Structure 1
Amino acid sequence: MRVFLAGATGAIGRQLLPLLLDAGHEVTGTSRSEEGVSRIRRSGARAVRADALDAEGLRRAVAEAVPDVVVHQLTDLSGADGAANDRLRHQGTRHLVDAARAAGVGRIVAQSIAWAYAPGDGPADESVPLDPTDEQPRARIVAGVRALESQAAELPEAVLLRYGILYGPGTWYAPDGPVADALRGDARARFLGRVVADDSVASFVHVRDAARAALLALTWPPGAYNVTDDEPAPGSAWVPVLAAALSAPPPPRTAGAAPWARGAANAGARANGWTPAYPSWRTGFARQDG
């Protein structure tokens, strides 16, 4: 299969690219930098320098690749600029979908998130609507997710991967990431605020498991899938385990919870053959480089 991997040097793209090549796919990967382009080429894939906010440049890149499927793993998180990431979800997705359509591509696998659901009891499955909140900054984040998913769904075969919170190499939760800095009180991580050990429930997924889901999703039926591990948990449970894995002091336990923080259920992805190698953050946090 010919695969156009947009965001091949991001946290998931980096893990996904060798999986695609090992599976025998012909891959064209994109990066915004020459360094990224060189990394893609060294992997054995075709590389193209492209910016998702450059509509015409992206259109040319997709047309030249002649792909069977477009894989959307575009993010802009390195600078912790939420507005930049939202712009990529809105405009970058628009340009990528338009480029796919112009090239005659009907199938897209797109990265979304599993914590944009409306409040409710228990982990959310894919039938739960996205949160209608007007409260900022959450409303802005959910609007970006809604735009990404609705634009991707304009193509006849759209697979939406709603990832849990990513941890592992290259993520914010890695030992050298900003969450570790925040737990240690490092000033470089002030943008995160405090890491809170309260009753807000989260679902995680190791970045390697996220990449394996994207590989399998090349042939999944169209639709949305939660890609999370098997154990949604409150911060009061997972934060101390993460702190210990990162050799950082745990924050004190606090009361309360965000009403929307409910975690997500992964039965849909599991029914299509995906099984997380890291079924729980309890063991996964300590194996972030494995």
Structure 2
Amino acid sequence: MRVLVAGATGAVGRQLVPRLEAAGHEVVGISRRGPRPVDVLDAGAVRRAVAEAAPDAVVHQLTDLGGADGAANNRVRIEGTRNLVDAALAAGVRRIVAQSIAWAYAPGEGPADESVPLDPTEQGPRARVVAGVRALEAAVAELPEAVVLRYGILYGPGTWYAPGGAVAAWLGGTAGPAFLGSTVADGSVSSFVHVADAAEAAVQALDWPPGAYNVVDDEPATGYEWLPALTEALGAPAPDRMAGRASWARGASNGRARALGWVPARPSWRTGFVDQGA
């Protein structure tokens, strides 16, 4: 299969391209940097790149997280996805695999499965994040064979949670992304996934039935549980423990992806934080 990877130089993209090639696929990668620089906010440039690649499938791994700018990342989710979908439709592409997130679900108890609706909140920053996710998922659903991968919090090489990343800097006293500290050192529940496991899911998803799938490890956990393990692995000081829990921070269940044969090589952050890889 000829596969166009949008976001080929990102944290997941760097793991994904060699896995696709090892599986026998012909890969064309585009990103803001690298041999095929394409600005995803430039609709004409995206259309030309997709038309030239003439792919059988598109894998969407586009983000803008380097500057910890939520508005910039949301713009990529909304406008960048719209441009990529329009280009794919114009090129006659039927299948798309797209990166989404597993923490946009409505509040509730216990890990969310894919039947839980997205959060209907209209409050502040979270409403903007969920609106971006909703727009992304609605756009990719316009292709007849759309697979949405709702990743847990990504850790591993090139992520905020890697040694030397934004979270380590924040733990060391440097200002970091705005969300840090709000649902980290309290009872809020998070689900994680290593970037290599996320990439492997994207490879397998080229053959999955259309729909949404949570791509998370096996152990949703509160900040009380996972943060001490992360700080120990990073050699960083632990922040003060906070009371409370965000009602939407409930973690996610990976049962649907596992039923199709996806098995995370790092099934828990407990061991994954210690050996994040290079």
- Fold shared per TM-score above 0.5: yes
Equivalent position of 1:45 in the other structure? none
- Cα deviation for residue 194 of structure 1 reads 2.9
- Cα deviation for residue 97 of structure 1 reads 0.4
Task: Return closer, same or farther for 1:52/1:222 CA change in 2, 3 Å cut-off.
Answer: same
1:53 and 2:41 aligned = yes
- Cα deviation for residue 51 of structure 1 reads 1.1
**Which runs of at least 4 in structure 1 moved beyond 6 Å after TM superposition?**
none
Q: Normalising by structure 2, what TM-score?
A: 0.97
Equivalent position of 1:41 in the other structure? none
| Contact 2:68–2:177 (CA under 8 A) maintained in structure 1 | no
Equivalent position of 1:24 in the other structure? 24
Residue identity in the other structure for 2:22: D
C-alpha RMSD of the superposition = 1.1
1:166 and 2:174 aligned = no
**C-alpha separation in 2, matches of 1:17 and 1:190:** 28
| Contact 2:97–2:146 (CA under 8 A) maintained in structure 1 | yes
Residue identity in the other structure for 1:23: A
Equivalent position of 1:43 in the other structure? none
**C-alpha separation in 2, matches of 1:191 and 1:211:** 27
Equivalent position of 1:209 in the other structure? 197
**C-alpha separation in 1, matches of 2:107 and 2:157:** 30
1:144 and 2:127 aligned = no
Q: Which consecutive residues of structure 1, in runs of 5 or more, have no partner in the other structure?
A: 38-47
- Cα deviation for residue 138 of structure 1 reads 0.1
| Contact 2:147–2:209 (CA under 8 A) maintained in structure 1 | yes
- Cα deviation for residue 193 of structure 1 reads 4.4
Counterpart among 76, 79, 84 of residue 96 in structure 1: 84
Q: How many residues align?
A: 277
- Cα deviation for residue 139 of structure 1 reads 0.1
| Contact 1:182–1:192 (CA under 8 A) maintained in structure 2 | no
| Contact 2:58–2:88 (CA under 8 A) maintained in structure 1 | yes
- Cα deviation for residue 249 of structure 1 reads 1.0
Task: Return closer, same or farther for 1:193/1:219 CA change in 2, 3 Å cut-off.
Answer: closer
- Cα deviation for residue 252 of structure 1 reads 2.3
**C-alpha separation in 1, matches of 2:186 and 2:166:** 20
Q: Normalising by structure 1, what TM-score?
A: 0.93
**C-alpha separation in 2, matches of 1:31 and 1:223:** 25
SS in 2 for 1:219: coil
